[in-house]
Structure 1
Amino acid sequence: METDCRRTEGARPLPAGTRLLHIGPHKTGTTSIQGALFAAKDAMAAHGVAFPAATRHPMEAVLAVCARPGMMGNTRPTDKHWDRLVAQVDATGDRTSVISSEFFADAADDEIVARVVRELGGERVHVLVTLRPLVKIMPSQWQQYVQNGLRMGYEDWLDHMLRKAPYEKPNPSFWRRHRHDRLVERWARVVGRDNLTVVVVDDRDRGGLMRTFETLLGLPADLLREVPDTANRSLTLAETEMLRKLNVEFRGHELPEELYSRLIRYGAIMHMKNTCAPSKGEARIVTPPWAVEAAAAVGAEITERIGTMGVRVIGDPALLSAVARPAAAPTTPPAPAGPPRVSAEAAAQALYGALAAAADAPVRHTAPVKARTVQQTSSKDLVKVIGGRALRRLRRH
């Protein structure tokens, strides 16, 4: 295995006309690089590099080709989304181009991978995989699953992912994405080991991933810059627990999934993220020691297997199995006892976000109100009535 522990100094420009396909996986700097590429698309074009997608992240197109249903409550993507992206890539002609989506990592088998590669350029495609240690990915991925309706607590989820083989519940996508050796092997079988590069992301070098992309694409240094994105910030432990318990209530009352997508994900949570910055003292999601050790052991297996594949690796593979040791003396005060509490400001902004999303679909009464007061109606029936009305509004909208 060819490695370069000096990170981007080992990267070399790809041949002109290459179609660089960045497949993630999730939580490896994908959102940051997608934002930078999209913001610099005009500047890149002046240097002969095209960003063919019409949006920062062509998620619907990639979900469609990978036969994935999409986020809970969202409209299911179709082949029209994928065909549109393929046409945009074809329109770049002989120019170098770059497409990035972490959902390419969800491609379940060689047939899907082969279709993606064939329709995006065949031999011109060079696949880029970005990797981070599993111990850093797991808390971020858990809270992302919670934002899509997961009701399981963090330690219970870790127990299922790391101790309860075959590790398919409650999120079968996790190891498809994050058993990184199998991910690399799956794509290398199709494109060949010479057409696949692995980049080990070093979180201590904030601009390292940007510089690697610039080098691979033949772009000037510092052309790609991080774009602030508050909507992509991670939730705190209290915020995640608030949402997780809301998920329990939502599922328990069998409300329509469309309501979740509109009112919760794109209403309450999005507004809270955009308006509330967590303070330094707020509790973060902490992985217990047993899970840290287990994730590091899997990382060591991943590193060893990738080392036998003959693909190019940029960065230090040892980072994938490193275990951070605690300092000799604590540098921060211990967390307060008891369950985490979400701030009043965050709760208020989340509630406002849901109300604002609901207000986008004004109520139109088309039938007389039944002669039954709120006090005479059970809570469960009230929730069903409100959910039904909101769903009808969404459909009209």
Structure 2
Amino acid sequence: MNAGVPPLPTGTRLLHIGPHKTGTTSIQGALFAAKDAMPEHGVVFPADSRHPMEAVLAACARPGMIGNTQPTERHWQRLVDQVKATGRRTSVISSEFFADAPDDETIARVVEELGGERVHVLITLRPLARIMPSQWQQYVQNGLRMGYENWLERMLKKAPYEKPNPSFWRRHRHDRLVERWARVAGPERLTVVVVDDRDRGHLMRTFEQLLGLPDNLLQPVPDAANRSLTLAETEMLRKLNMEFRGNGLPDELYSQLVRYGAVMHMKNACAPGPQDVKISTPQWAVEAAAEIGAEMAGRIGGMGVRILGDPALLSVVPQPAEVLPGEPLIAPEVAAQALYGALAAAAAAPVRHSAPAKARTVHQTSSKELVRVLGHRCLKRLRRR
């Protein structure tokens, strides 16, 4: 599809800004895995981890994930220094959180500090109908309590379409995203890649062409932790979010026990099977997303930026998915692995009792109070650490 696309000039700093759910994790894993092989071909991946998330969040004045380390200017400055250290070689930086940059001033700062005119911006796009279920379950993994159809109503029908996730259209109104970055970097220094889900290797080959790397140097890295949740898994987590918030437990505890405990262990230990129900988007929402996609593709086509791939894919209405009869049920093994993950996370931060427990048995204590006590004890231990 990209026949004849020449490599970017030597010394380019390729800045991949996502947005979310457009193959970012896959390409970041492949780039990081090839980090030691790329310098032989004049390309550097200047970061200590697959995804320098804290650095980018700091640059875009965004808070960290619930309960995580708060981004600071120090994180961003370290990444800038690492990019500068690449000298005149080509380098590549990738983070979907660049798409969250709030204004032109922030974008200008990012572009200037990463190399000014040497920066070439790359934006990857997928059809909204494929992004929406994946993005919703990701929001649930970050604490969202709203059901999918209600969420779709808020995102597609209820202006100003900002609640409960104002970041969604900031990221996924793709024509405006391209417009913001082209306005600062210049359309001649911006490439849009339309990801074709029918060709799993298309995105890897596109990066290789732009960076002047040998064919097949970039390879997908298996990452069970990045898989999407099934409908039953997402609903279980959503209900847990409701209980967690209803009991007023702290964000740090959610991060430790739920996101990096229950969810992470469940995703790594259990692979969905053909009997597991996927998240299905109702036809009205699919058609609304395709209509928005057609409008976005038309506007992007008139901006003077380079487009690789087929923009018509952004407005395709996929065939309705087969919906299995009955309610989605979570397998006992999946529930057990989620529970074990939370328990293992709690056990990794044991609480030392400084005073004798009061003479009251567990059976004499309400479940709500037990959850609150456990939460505060784990949080106390986390703060000590």
What is the TM-score with the length of structure 2 in the denominator?
A: 0.98
Q: Tell me if 1:148 matches 2:142.
A: yes
Q: CA deviation at 1:10?
A: 4.8
Deviates more, 1:113-122 or 1:386-395: 386-395
Residue 3 of structure 1: aligned partner: none
Q: Matched residues in 2 for 1:323 and 1:380: separation?
A: 46
Residue 124 of structure 1: aligned partner: 118
Alignment of 1:85-164 (within 5 A): 85-164=79-158
Match of 2:334 among 346, 349, 358: 346
Match of 1:336 among 306, 320, 325: 325
Q: What one-letter code is carried by the residue in structure 2 that aligns with 1:244? A: R
Q: Matched residues in 1 for 2:259 and 2:156: separation?
A: 28
Q: Which runs of 5+ in 2 are unaligned?
A: none
Residue 61 of structure 2: aligned partner: 67
Conserved? CA contact 1:20–1:127, under 8 Å? yes
Q: CA deviation at 1:384?
A: 1.7
Conserved? CA contact 2:122–2:192, under 8 Å? yes
Kindly provide the CA deviation profile for residues 47-103 of structure 1, in whole angstroms up to 9, marking residues without a partner as x. Answer: 110000110000110011111112111121111100100000000000000000000
Give the match's secondary structure for 2:36.
helix
Give the match's secondary structure for 1:146.
helix
Q: Matched residues in 2 for 1:136 and 1:57: separation?
A: 23
Residue 290 of structure 1: aligned partner: 284
Alignment of 1:148-227 (within 5 A): 148-227=142-221
Q: Tell me if 1:41 matches 2:30.
A: no
Conserved? CA contact 1:23–1:100, under 8 Å? yes
Q: Which structure 1 residue ranges, 4+ long, deviate > 3 Å from structure 2?
A: none
Q: Tell me if 1:229 matches 2:223.
A: yes
Give the match's secondary structure for 2:284.
helix
Q: What one-letter code is carried by the residue in structure 2 that aligns with 1:153? A: G
Alignment of 1:294-305 (within 5 A): 294-305=288-299
Residue 55 of structure 1: aligned partner: 49
Conserved? CA contact 2:22–2:126, under 8 Å? yes
Q: Matched residues in 2 for 1:363 and 1:325: separation?
A: 53
Q: CA deviation at 1:387?
A: 1.1
Residue 25 of structure 2: aligned partner: 31
Match of 1:19 among 13, 23, 44: 13
Alignment of 1:307-318 (within 5 A): 307-318=301-312
Q: What one-letter code is carried by the residue in structure 1 that aligns with 2:376? A: G
Deviates more, 1:10-19 or 1:221-230: 10-19
Give the match's secondary structure for 1:68.
coil
Residue 389 of structure 1: aligned partner: 377
Deviates more, 1:306-315 or 1:382-391: 382-391
Give the match's secondary structure for 1:20.
strand
Residue 267 of structure 2: aligned partner: 273
Give the match's secondary structure for 2:209.
helix
Q: Matched residues in 2 for 1:370 and 1:344: separation?
A: 35
Q: CA deviation at 1:383?
A: 2.0
Q: Matched residues in 1 for 2:369 and 2:50: separation?
A: 42
Residue 4 of structure 1: aligned partner: none
Q: Matched residues in 2 for 1:11 and 1:235: separation?
A: 36
Give the match's secondary structure for 1:46.
helix
Q: Tell me if 1:365 matches 2:356.
A: no
Kindly provide the CA deviation profile for residues 207-237 of structure 1, in whole angstroms up to 9, marking residues without a partner as x. Answer: 0111000000011111100111010001000
Give the match's secondary structure for 1:8.
coil
Q: Matched residues in 1 for 2:311 and 2:69: separation?
A: 39
Go from structure 1 to structure 2 and tell me whether the alpha carbon gap of 1:171 and 1:10 turns closer, same or farther (over 3 Å shift): farther
Conserved? CA contact 2:44–2:90, under 8 Å? yes
Give the match's secondary structure for 1:103.
helix
> How large is the RMSD of aligned CA atoms in angstroms?
1.1
Go from structure 1 to structure 2 and tell me whether the alpha carbon gap of 1:10 and 1:241 turns closer, same or farther (over 3 Å shift): farther
Q: What one-letter code is carried by the residue in structure 2 that aligns with 1:379? A: S
Q: Tell me if 1:374 matches 2:362.
A: yes
* Number of aligned residue pairs: 385
Deviates more, 1:367-376 or 1:16-25: 367-376
Conserved? CA contact 2:350–2:378, under 8 Å? no
Conserved? CA contact 2:100–2:171, under 8 Å? yes
Deviates more, 1:173-182 or 1:353-362: 353-362
Q: What one-letter code is carried by the residue in structure 2 that aligns with 1:34? A: Q
Kindly provide the CA deviation profile for residues 123-177 of structure 1, in whole angstroms up to 9, marking residues without a partner as x. Answer: 0000000000000000000000000000000000000000001000000000000
Q: Which runs of 5+ in 1 are unaligned?
A: 1-6
Conserved? CA contact 2:136–2:148, under 8 Å? yes
Conserved? CA contact 1:10–1:314, under 8 Å? no
Match of 1:252 among 233, 242, 246: 246
Give the match's secondary structure for 2:37.
helix
Give the match's secondary structure for 1:197.
strand
Give the match's secondary structure for 1:129.
strand
Q: Matched residues in 1 for 2:107 and 2:5: separation?
A: 25
Q: Matched residues in 1 for 2:364 and 2:208: separation?
A: 65
Give the match's secondary structure for 1:41.
coil
Conserved? CA contact 2:156–2:288, under 8 Å? yes
Conserved? CA contact 1:201–1:209, under 8 Å? yes
Q: What one-letter code is carried by the residue in structure 2 that aligns with 1:303? A: A
Give the match's secondary structure for 1:303.
helix
**Greater relative contact order (Cα < 8 A, sep 6+):** 1
Q: Matched residues in 1 for 2:367 and 2:329: separation?
A: 25
